[in-house]
Structure 1
Amino acid sequence: MGVDLAAVTRLQAMIEDDPAFLPTAWTSRELAYADGDVARLASRWAAKEAVMKALGIGIGRISPLDIEVLGDEDGVPSVALTGTARDRACELGIADWAISLSHEGGLAIAFAIASAPPPGQMKVLGGDDV
């Protein structure tokens, strides 16, 4: 499990100071979903950090772009991993994520809960099912 809190005003200032920050922290689909709403970006930033904490590896070893946080047509968030984030999840046997996001009063918070597949459905490299 991981949790993170992000200040919306701090992210707003970072974006204003360096607009090139946007495509280094959020995927094009995340940017389109947020549609310029910095609070939405902040909640997704918090989710990326929460996922990193659940993976036990922080920014620098995992790119924020390797963790994509989107919402479905009802706004239910989900996470998709690629690259180093996906590799680490595989190492840990993580098969699924539960993500919760919220923002209010200039703060954004996210919780990430990782889970393994049910017994008998996890393949172990060089071994039998677990």
Structure 2
Amino acid sequence: MTAILLRTGVDMVDVERLKRMIELSGTEFLESSWTAAEREYCADRPERLATRWAAKEATMKALNRGIGRVGLLDVEVAAAEGQMPTLLLHGPAEERALELQLDTWSVSLTHEDRWALAFVVGAGNGPHGQHQ
């Protein structure tokens, strides 16, 4: 018997704090935290980078993994102006999703003043009663 398996994660980021981290760390921090496509889409806008950071953390929570076991570049937020963002998982993030039998992802991003928030849902058809 199968059941729909749902995993959720949420994260909130202080945009001003992230902006200071970027200013202090520069290009190396940007390149180690966001993919080239994410950086291009965000165009150095800290609120957009912050929502993606929150999405990466929220996805790690849904996967029950933290930074280190899943890298920041293993979770990518793909977006096009005027369209809903989507999640792309790579490497250890993709492997963990397969292990949990999660094959559908939804992400919602928002920012207001100095706060950025992301909510992530992973869904799949796991065996009934599966807990991980």
Structure ranking higher on relative contact order (CA contacts 8 Å, 6+ apart): 2
In 1: Cα distance, 2:126 partner to 2:99 partner: 16
In 1: Cα distance, 2:19 partner to 2:44 partner: 10
> CA RMSD for the aligned pairs?
1.4
1:60 maps to 2:68: yes
Normalising by the residue count of structure 2, what TM-score does the alignment of the two structures yield? 0.86
Query: What code does the residue aligned with 1:93 have?
Result: Q
Matches within 5 A, 1:1-130: 1-19=8-26, 20-117=28-125
Q: Is the CA contact 1:96–1:117 (under 8 Å) kept in the aligned structure 2?
A: no
Query: What code does the residue aligned with 2:100 have?
Result: L
Larger strand proportion, structure 1 or 2?
2
Gaps spanning 5+ residues in structure 1: where? 120-130
| Aligned-residue offset at 1:60 | 1.0
| Aligned-residue offset at 1:72 | 2.9
SS in 1 for 2:111: strand
After TM superposition, which residue ranges in structure 1, 4 or more long, deviate above 6 angstroms? Answer: none
| Aligned-residue offset at 1:112 | 0.3
